Structures are given as C-alpha cells and as structure tokens.
Chains A and B, each alone.
Chain A
C-alpha cells in the first residue's frame, strides 16, 4: 500500500505547478499574520471537506471496518462475535476459495487476450485512411456506455441454447451449438464473450489514442528500410504503444478480479458453481448465508491480491514499457 501510494505521490509531486498564487511552495513563504494564516487554513478546509468527508466516511472508514468485521462471526443481525483469524483459516483451507479464485483467473485469462487483440486490430484499422472512421468508432464504442445488466441479458438471450440467435445461425451451417450458459463447460466462455464484446470499444479508444501519438515518420522510415507489415507492427508500433498497453492491462486486471454484474445476471454463478467468481461468492456469503465476517475476510483477500498484482505490474513496467 505505502509503496504504491509513494509511487503515485512521487509521480504526482513532480507535476505540481511551480508557481501558485500568493504562495510558491519552493520559495520561503511570505510572512503572514496569524489571522491571514487562519483564513487560508479555513479556505483550504472549505475546498477539501466536500470530498474528504464522503471519502473518509464511505471509503476509508468502511475499508478499516471491513478488516475488523473479517475478525468476527456476524450475520448482519445479531451482535458480532470475535473469532480472531478463524475466518481466514476457514477460507484458506476451504477448496471453494481456490475454486472461486481459479474461476476468476479463468475469466481474466480468456478475456484479456480477446479484448486486447480485438481492440488493437480495430484501433489499427481505424488509424488508417478509412471512410466513415468517426461513425465506425462510435458504433464500436456503443456497448461501453450500456450497462452490464443489459449486456448480460441480451447475450443470455442471443446465446439461448434452444432457440438463441447464435445457435440458430450455427445450425444454419450444420453446427450443433453448445448449451452456452447452461453447460458447465461453456458457461464461462459465454460470459467472456459478452464481456469482451462490451469492452472492445474501451480498449480500442485507449489504443487508438496511443497510436495517434506515434510519429508516422518512424513507421515510414522502417517501410523504406524494407520492413514488412508484421515487422513494423512488432518492432515499432507495439513498443511505442506500450504505455497504452500497460494502462489497458492494469485496468483490465483490476476490473477482471472484480467481475460480478455480468456473472450475476447471466449465470448467477452456475451451472453447478462453474462460474462462481470471487465477488459472487462474497455476495452469496453475505446476503444468502449470513456470513458477513467470512465475506469480509474474502474481500480483504481479494483486495490484497489486486494490490499485489498491481504493485508487481508497476514494478515490472520499467522492463517493457517504453515512455519514449
């Protein structure tokens, strides 16, 4: 936590404006009367409190409270009973915990390459001289603004095993489509498919912005030197695109570990627990089984995993991210 905050803070600190009205932090502050100081402090408070109060009350406070609840046995109704680290011990020895984390990782491993390669292909195509670029960009972005619930419902209907559109079309080609969300083997791929379809536009926009920042002279120079399309992609475009790629991967991993809405609406964790992901498990533990303590412990495990993965990525970025 501190390492990450430190990194962020260091980066942010470097960008703060040098001269600020009345006070420049790098120079000795002008001597002010006690009254002026008090007035300035009140001004700062007036600007900070509207955001600080909600953040402390509804983010930082609950974060700490979740740690405390995770050490109790509690069903949200009767008084909580202190149990120390029991919840963590239960979770770490329960094979169900490994399952829900594995399912979450399965989701990420299927989703990330699909959405990245798809988004990259569209971004590259839209970066060339193409008629109707703006319209195409709008259409590819459309699913991003739609809610997960609508996307999940629509895809559940499209992938309906008996008379859904997808299986009807497959049947037209003589292929018997699988039972998508009703077959344990296909339920997760269904969720991955719907999620990738929704997020493709988001990834496309980030990568397109990255592509447009690349100096076309570099690509032309490589072309003159006889580098083919693939060679230019791997030796020039992708390395120069690495900051955008880094952002996409960091965000996708953070979001991927928190996957919930589409699972809740498409399969509810089924069939037979085949799509039970971590957050669905947290929800079920709290609101179906009345185990708020265990749910909080699982929440903290999830947060620690997300934090660890993010810190590892920030540390590792120097090896492959090229900030030109």
Chain B
C-alpha cells in the first residue's frame, strides 16, 4: 500500500493515465494483498514460535508423553519436572559447567582474536598474507576430522575429562579474527598515527585507540563465542566423560536416552538451556543479526 503511494508520488507521469475509479480499485487490491501478506507472515511467525511454546507447556505438564495427548494449556500445571530435573541429575552442576566454559571461551577468544586481528590489520610482517590465508582455511576444517587426534592429544597431556581439555580447542577461532580484522580496517590509520606521535607504542594504541573503536564488533564476537560454546555438543560429548563434568546439551541428550523418556523433564531442561541465550539475544539482537548479515556480505 505504502509502496504504491510512493510510486505514484515519484512518477506523476503514470497517474494521469488512470481514472479515479481505477485508482480506488488498485488501492483496494493493494490493501487486500497487504492484509494477506501480514496474515501469512504472522501465521509463519506463530509456526516458528510454536515449538518454544510447546516446550514450555510440556515442561509444566507432569508425566507428559507417557499417555497424554497434547493440549494447548497444561491440565495441571506444576513445576514438578524442574524439581525432578535437579534431583535426578546433577543439573545445577551441569548448568554451572556450561556457564563456566562459555564465559572462559568468550573471554579468551576475544583476547586471541583481537590481538591477531591487530597484527593482521596494523603490523606488516613477511608472509602475513599467507598466514592469514591459512588462518581462514582453518574455518573449513570440520571439527569431526579433528576429533580423533584431538582426543588422543589431550589424552597424552592427561587432559581428557577435565575443564581444560574441553576449553583448549576453543581458544582461537578464525571467524573471530576475520570479524575483528574487518572492523579494525575501518578504523582510520590517522588515529594510530596521532597516538604514535604522542609516543604511544603498539600495545597502547591497541588498547586505547583500536579496541574502544570496535566495540560493536567485539560485542558481536562475544555473543557468537558464548553461543558457540553454550550450544556445542560433539567436543564436550567426546572429552567430558564424568556425569558431573557434563555440559547442558550433552546432559539433555543423555536424559532422552533413558528407557522411557520423561518428556516433561527433558523439556524442563530445554527451557533452562534456552533461557540464558534468549536473555543475551534480547539484549544484543541488533549485534547478532548484524553479525550474521555482515558475514554474508563480506
């Protein structure tokens, strides 16, 4: 509707050719299309949202999945599943593990990505382009290719079934380096030069000039690093063997493996695992979406 109006305003040449009646008919048709489009998009959004709603409802329905047929509102809503979850498995410990690993991964990845990005953006050295190419190529190596040798390596270091073993392979990621380097290249070199004239060395320029100027990119990377760690499955599954060291996704997959799946408990765990990501997402939605969009455009 709005589109048609602007079009007519932009191109008055077209308008005189139409009679008033034709114009009303066209406006009505555009209106109809707009209503239809809105309806379809809202139905689609409901379909996207429904599984989340359903997760919540199931987690509040005691004994769900054994003989019950689905209903849109829980018959006897209760937090029983949440209580059982914390009684049956060391769930508080599991949530704590995931949080600990995600926070450390995020902090270390910010550090390793920012320093490398600074070198690739500001410190020319022989072979820099080739090294950067190799860094980028590591993005293409599937983790699955590395699982066996990584497992053997960490076993040799005595780090299987330790937090450190789960953490070490997440410490550097090419994606973050690429993202931050892109942002640093947008920072005018004149700023560095001014600081250099004032006697600042590279560490000072990095810390006081570059980092404050790329805050949005740092926030984007922080969200992605946290999300990657929080949701990661294969490596924690392989390296963390004791139940008390498990992370959320692994524990959730394990809950399902029991003889009769208690879906209310599984869904209670799912709700808990979604909540922190949801909070971070609502807080940083702009950065997350922008980060994805940038990844596609560059």
Contact = CB atoms under 8 A, between A and B. Distances in A.
Interface of A: 1, 4-6, 8-9, 12-13, 15-17, 19-23, 25, 41, 43-44, 46-48, 50-55, 57-63, 65-66, 69, 76, 122, 125-126, 128-131, 136-151, 153-158, 160, 163-165, 168, 197, 200-202, 205-206, 208-210, 213, 220, 223-224, 243-244, 247-248, 254, 257-258, 260-261, 264-265, 279, 282-283, 286-287, 292, 295-296, 299-300, 302-303, 306-307, 310
Given A58-B168, A286-B147, A122 B44 contact: yes
Contact of A279 (B68, B144, B205, B267): B144
A20 B123 contact: yes
B214 to A, nearest CB: 14
A160 B51 CA distance: 13
Interface residues of B, number: 109
Interface in B51-66: 51-52, 54-55, 58, 65
Interface of B: 1-3, 7, 10-11, 14, 37-38, 40-42, 44-45, 48-49, 51-52, 54-55, 58, 65, 67-70, 111-113, 115-116, 118-119, 121-125, 129-138, 140-153, 155, 168-169, 171-172, 174, 177, 185, 189, 192-193, 196, 201-203, 205-206, 227, 230-231, 233-234, 238, 248-250, 252-253, 256, 263, 266-267, 270, 273-274, 277-278, 281, 285, 288-289, 292-297
A226 to B, nearest CB: 11
B111 A139 contact: no
A19 B256 CA distance: 57
Given A130-B41, A165-B54, A197 B48 contact: yes
A194 to B, nearest CB: 9
A48 B115 contact: yes
21 contacts: A8-B136, A23-B124, A43-B201, A54-B112, A54-B171, A57-B153, A58-B146, A76-B151, A141-B285, A143-B48, A145-B281, A147-B233, A148-B249, A154-B54, A165-B54, A205-B289, A209-B297, A283-B234, A292-B148, A296-B149, A303-B141
Contacts of A147: 230-231, 233, 248-249, 273, 277
A66 B122 contact: no
A16 B122 CA distance: 9
A65 B140 contact: no
A55 B109 CA distance: 12
Given A12-B136, A287-B238, A300-B145, A129 B263 contact: no
Given A47-B119, A59-B138, A143-B51, 9 more contacts: A5-B136, A5-B137, A19-B189, A21-B192, A62-B150, A157-B54, A163-B69, A264-B233, A300-B145
Interface of A is mostly: helix
A310 B142 CA distance: 13
A16 B201 CA distance: 21
B249 to A, nearest CB: 4
Nearest to B168: A58
Contact of A62 (B153, B192, B252): B153
A128 B192 CA distance: 42
B140 A306 contact: yes
Contacts of B266: 153, 157
Given A48-B116, A125-B37, A153 B252 contact: yes
B132 A12 contact: yes
Contacts of B231: 146-149
Contacts of B54: 154, 157-158, 165
Contacts of A19: 189
Contact of A128 (B3, B171, B174): B3
Contact of B122 (A21, A46, A57, A213): A21
A138 B234 CA distance: 28
A149 B253 contact: yes
Contact of B65 (A57, A69, A157): A157
A153 B113 CA distance: 34
Contact of A130 (B38, B116, B230): B38
Contacts of B129: 9, 12-13, 16
B133 A136 contact: no
B172 A50 contact: yes
Contact of B125 (A44, A148, A154, A243): A44
A26 B174 CA distance: 27
B11 to A, nearest CB: 7
Contacts of B238: 287
A261 B69 CA distance: 28
B37 A128 contact: yes
